[in-house]
């Protein structure tokens, strides 16, 4: 049983500052089979006013051996689209703290404990990032719900798709509308009791 108490926090998706765009990505793994099930990913790029520049989702099948690999594969796809479309100053938010650390923290540079697939993806992300001005941060899962929607959408369609704002599904448009209004998400946290 967990020690401490459960508290509630309100979290929001934040717009990037002028001159930057913000890429949120998410990957997911449906553990239908052991050791690996189907995986997919998605992402959204928005400008400093919160306007969607593009969104994407893609199905990876069983090629990702972990949720971390799916997260990294989605990030790599998003960065490649940014590079191809000429976006250079990018704030990237991921809801997997380990992914942020593996990519951006030199102290986490040790290859021990990583699969070859994860190491390959980290190396590819760093390579693509070398052509960009990228800042990586962690975002809690609740405030990354638009990209979670996209990643899960691909389990239904099982196709790769890059969309402009007018092509987005209505459910996703509603999530984005609420985020643009700074509507908070509720996050439940366990807080340790102080001694």
Domain of 102, CATH number, reads 3.30.420.10
Q: Does 99 score more than 90 pLDDT?
A: yes
Which tokens is 148 given? Answer: 């979670």
Mean local confidence (pLDDT), 63-77: 87
**Which of the four pLDDT bands, split at 50, 70 and 90, describes residue 64?**
low
Q: Does 182 score more than 90 pLDDT?
A: no
Is residue 195 assigned to a domain? no
Is residue 194 assigned to a domain? no
Is residue 33 assigned to a domain? yes
pTM for this model (two decimals): 0.86
Q: Residue 153 is part of which domain span?
A: 5-189
Give the pLDDT of residue 12: 84
Rounded to an integer, what distance in angstroms lies between the CA atom of residue 92 and that of residue 86?
A: 16
Is residue 170 assigned to a domain? yes
**Which of the four pLDDT bands, split at 50, 70 and 90, describes residue 166?**
very high
Q: How many folded domains does the chain comprise?
A: 1
**Of the listed ranges 79-93, 109-123, 157-171, the one predicted with least confidence:** 109-123
**Which of the four pLDDT bands, split at 50, 70 and 90, describes residue 79?**
very high
Give the pLDDT of residue 104: 87
Is residue 102 assigned to a domain? yes
**Which of the four pLDDT bands, split at 50, 70 and 90, describes residue 141?**
confident
């Amino acid at each position: 049983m967990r020690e401490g108490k459960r508290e509630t926090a309100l979290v929001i998706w934040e717009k990037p500052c002028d001159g930057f765009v913000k890429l949120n990505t998410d990957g997911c793994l449906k553990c239908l089979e052991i050791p690996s099930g189907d995986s997919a990913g998605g992402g959204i790029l928005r400008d400093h006013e919160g306007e969607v520049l593009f969104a994407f989702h893609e199905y990876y099948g069983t090629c990702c051996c972990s949720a971390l690999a799916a997260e990294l594969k989605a990030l790599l796809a998003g960065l490649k689209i940014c590079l191809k479309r000429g976006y250079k100053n990018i704030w990237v938010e991921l809801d997997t703290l380990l992914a942020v650390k593996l990519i951006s923290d030199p102290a986490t540079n040790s290859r021990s404990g990583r699969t070859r697939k994860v190491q390959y993806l980290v190396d590819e992300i760093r390579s693509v990032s070398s052509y960009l001005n990228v800042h990586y941060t962690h975002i809690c899962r609740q405030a990354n719900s638009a990209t979670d929607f996209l990643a899960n959408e691909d389990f239904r369609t099982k196709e790769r798709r890059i969309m402009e704002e007018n092509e987005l599904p209505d459910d996703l448009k509603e999530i984005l509308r609420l985020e643009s209004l700074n509507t908070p998400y509720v996050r439940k946290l366990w807080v340790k009791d102080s001694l």
